[in-house]
Amino acid sequence: MQVRGNPHRLEEFITASTGDAKILNPILHADSASSEITSLVFDGLIDRDENLRFRGRLAERWDIYEEAYFYINPRAPVNGGKVSGAGPLRDLILSYRNTPGKAAPPLTGTLDNIRDIEIIPPEKGQTDIRIPGPDTDGDGFPEPVSVRVRYNRPPRLKITLKKVDQDFFSNLESILGKGYFETFPSADYIEILTQGYEDRLQDIARRVVPPVEHNPVIVFYLRKGVKFHDGHEFDAGDVKFTYEAIMNPKNLSPRTADYEPVKRLEILNKYTVKIVYKRLYSPAFGTWGMGMLPEHLLNAEALRKEAESKGMDPDKFTLRDSDFNRHPVGTGPFVFREWKSDQYIVLDRNEDYWEGAPNYKSYTYRVIPKPLNQAFEFYGGAIDNYAAQPHEVARLKKDPRYQSFSGLSFGYTYIGYNMRRELFKDKRVRRALGMAIDTDKIIRYVMYDQAERITGPFVKQTDYYDKSVKPLPYDPEGALRLLKEAGWKKNSEGWLEKDGKVFAFTLITNSGNELRKSILTIAQDSWKKIGIDVKTDLVEWTVFLGKHVNTGNFDALILGWSMGIDPDLYQIWHSSQTGNNQLNFVGFKNKEADDLIIKIRQEYDYDKQVQYCHQLHRIIADEQPYTFLYVAKWTAVLDKKIVIMERLPSGEKRIKRITPTKTGNYMFYFNKWIKLPFEPVFEAG
């Protein structure tokens, strides 16, 4: 069948975005455009299937278990002192496990979970430990310092469990006695060598000689024969290298927080890695969906050679400086071909992809800043999919030429306030700013009702989101009362003033996003009505990220988060993540929130995790570091000639409709998409 125009057009998938990618490296990027490209060029060890269950990618299979440790406590006699020492304690625990009926639930389940018990002999040595130091900037969050310690650790038991058990030690106390672990005298086994920290003995001792340790373990068995795009085989060394590159502080990876809980990563053989965690960390497994980097192209020797070839100092040259970030090499379904800044990125299909080559021969990502121009290109067939603007949804859903997919986004749009600025340190001010904006009006007239109100940081469709938290009311008079409480009063010219200074700041967002531009105007107008002098600025996307967001160089900004379903918010909200190139760029710091974020990370009980999330939601909603605006509804439109084409073992081709997953991801089967020269006819149902 003849195809009009370009005969290869059916074999190309062309998409468009308002902004360009910034850095094509999965461990370094922090923007959605870069993420979209790297997801096609790189593979992780695992991902989620269409039913949200984890499935293997570069890892074929895995084991998850736990190594639990505890020291023998000389101050807590067991059975009236009849049992002491590592050997007798081990035998006592095993006797309970091996004698039916000797232990009652829940101890029975705990003992049945034991695979092995090993005695670890005493250890002597020295170590440096990082602890909170002086509060140099007076914000209540001390800077860390390093303290040298000499230790003389007593014997301990290592208990290998078949699966992670966060209640293991509390249940074990029914054998060893209540308080057995709590009363362990950690301070008896260390000596502080760094002067000036003797008063921190108890805290330091518990870190160096902890009474108990939960060490969850993941063992990944890698898929053999997978090749990087340059033909080099992927193996365990690449996994280790990727982890170490993330943790290398010189690289400034925004992913560091996800992997900080890792205690060590061991290569067991060429195709097997063992990852041991320092503590309970419930999101651990999901983090290994990170795209894997090629060690042979980015190791220290390769970077040194690249630095020397450019005439740069090898000691200062980092992964961020490498040309790799504009010419990536992964193991994914598409191979990088070309990137012309602010114009396009072109990928070719990986003919040797381990799961089978995609149907499309190429993938082109075009940068078209104006949605109206994107629409014209889509209607003319120059791009293949289109994110319908809110005002277009009703019409496009009825257009017989197209297939459409809709859902509620995993994320939200917000106004963020730089809490390092004196102007925004009072939560009454932040709350007042939110109350002055009619968000329902934004949803009605800017979003054409294609959005819903949101009150906090979790994905609205999940149980982690606290639906009992009410949105801020639109109440300009109430906002003025709050500002008056905070010391702001109107001067003779009608501007709010405090200590001789007018309430004035600049609100910025990225250019090319008409929705955010409209919000910018509405926010400015709303705040001016109550006496706040607001200037606005639209900044090109890469400058917006590099000059303002990543450096904290702003007063207030309009942005959005795309979220995953996991409730771990450490990177965005924990007080340790407020530095340059980190994601808590508004500088939110709250000790109670920090504690809850850690609890959420370490909790394996779903109901308790939800409870902690609701508490965190309420704290953030009360503090208002963001004015939470809305979660958008999305509608994606495709030509009806784009379908899923599966190749059966017999060689026969089967055509199917594109269907979204449970989360609304209509591109889950993208590697099987193809565009036909005619509109297919499917049987009803």
Q: What is the pLDDT of residues 317-327, one digit of tens each?
A: 999 999 999 99
pLDDT band at 139 (very low <50, low <70, confident <90, very high): low
Tell which residue, 571, 598, 575, has the closest CA to residue 587. Answer: 575
Number of alpha carbons in the 13 Å side-chain half-sphere of residue 222: 25
User: What's the N-to-C CA distance of the chain in angstroms?
Assistant: 28
What is the mean predicted confidence (pLDDT) over 469-481? 97
Predicted confidence (pLDDT) per residue in 174-225, tens digit: 999 999 999 999 999 999 999 999 999 999 999 999 999 999 999 999 999 9
**Domains detected in the chain:** 19-58+223-332 (3.90.76.10), 64-218 (no CATH), 411-634 (3.10.105.10)
CB 208, CB 128: distance < 8 Å: no
Tell which residue, 481, 385, 390, has the closest CA to residue 432. Answer: 481
Strand partners, 394: none
Is this model's pTM higher than 0.75 or not? yes
| Cis before 121 (ω within 30) | no
* Residue 415: pLDDT over 90: yes
Predicted confidence (pLDDT) per residue in 264-308, tens digit: 999 999 999 999 999 999 999 999 999 999 999 999 999 999 999
* Residue 3: pLDDT over 50: no
Tell which residue, 237, 251, 358, has the closest CA to residue 647. Answer: 358
What is the radius of gyration, based on Cα positions, of the chain? Answer: 28
pLDDT at 465: 96
Torsional sign, CA 651, 656, 659, 665: positive
| Percentage of the chain modeled with pLDDT above 90 | 83
Q: In this structure, are strands 533-539 and 504-510 parallel, antiparallel, or unpaired?
A: parallel
- Cα dihedral angle (236, 238, 242, 243), rounded to 10 degrees? 20
pLDDT at 84: 83
pLDDT at 6: 63
